[in-house]
Amino acid sequence: MRQFFVYRNRNAATKARFPLLLEVQSDLLSDLGTRVVIPLTPATVTSRRTAMQTLTPILVVDGKDHLLVTPQLAGIATRELGPPVADLSGQRPAILAALDLLITGI
């Protein structure tokens, strides 16, 4: 498990809406049995128009645009993460800006 890796969502109740989860938890806390994640949902024309760019940026996963749904940040059990599908560490500035806005308001 690595910070800024994207994993398949194994939760039957949420995986249709949020098929991917972005881990944002520090690698220093890898011994914990939980992970802090932000869901990703495929970006639509509607979501592009209504999204707050900083709070819910569009991130590219496997060549497709996904909306980072930062207000839905959650802690989940590690076992609920499916296989890794992407490394978004190259999009770190946008991810951290979203977290900063959510936590600090700036």
Of the CATH numbers 1.10.3720.10, 3.30.470.20, 2.60.120.590, 2.30.30.110, which one belongs to the domain with range 5-104?
Answer: 2.30.30.110
3-state SS track over the chain: CCCCEEEEECCCCCCCCCCEEEECCCHHHCCCCEEEEEEEEECCHHHHHHCCCCCCCEEEECCEEEEECHHHCEEEEHHHEEEEEEECHHHHHHHHHHHHHHHHCC
pTM of the model: 0.92
Q: What is the pLDDT of residues 48-73, one digit of tens each?
A: 666 689 999 999 999 999 999 999 99
pLDDT, the chain, mean: 92
Contact present, 47 and 66 (Cβ < 8 Å): no
Q: What is the average pLDDT across 83-103?
A: 97
